[in-house]
Amino acid sequence: MAKINLNKLSSLELVDLYNRLNKVLFSDTIEDKKRRIEEKSKKWLDKGQYYCEKRLERNISMAEMGRFMGCSAKKIKAFETGKPVQAPYFTEISYSNALRLFDLENSADKRK
């Protein structure tokens, strides 16, 4: 591997080197994103359908679930239909906790 003496490079050469390194280190092409989405879409769909069934068993609307989770009904729909969502693992944990909270609130109401 060749050594580069950064002190001997001009400002333009440093900027060019920086840009080329960024492309190599942080490349996230559209094809890469599509490939990752395709690889995970079945898993996301399975999880989404599971949580959708749990929500429907409790007669919770998407809007109500969104309020429990602090997000929009649109995000709930995307999650349940296997579409990519931001922070999918956090969304799954939030969904699970929202179902537990709903169950706890309902069991407390029944005891009154």
Residue 107 belongs to domain with CATH number: 1.10.260.40
68 inside domain = yes
State the Cα–Cα distance between residues 79 and 50, nearest whole angstrom: 11
Please give the tally of structural domains in the chain. 1
pTM metric for this prediction = 0.68
Tell me how many degrees the CA angle 59-50-78 measures, rounded to the nearest 5.
Answer: 85
The parent domain of residue 47 ranges over: 41-112
69 inside domain = yes
Q: What is the mean pLDDT of the chain?
A: 87
36 inside domain = no
Residue whose entry in the numeric block shows the structure tokens 């995307």: 78
110 inside domain = yes
20 inside domain = no
Q: What percent of the chain has pLDDT over 70?
A: 92
17 inside domain = no
Residue whose entry in the numeric block shows the structure tokens 């359908």: 49
Q: Which pLDDT band, with edges at 50, 70 and 90, does 48 fall under?
A: very high
54 inside domain = yes
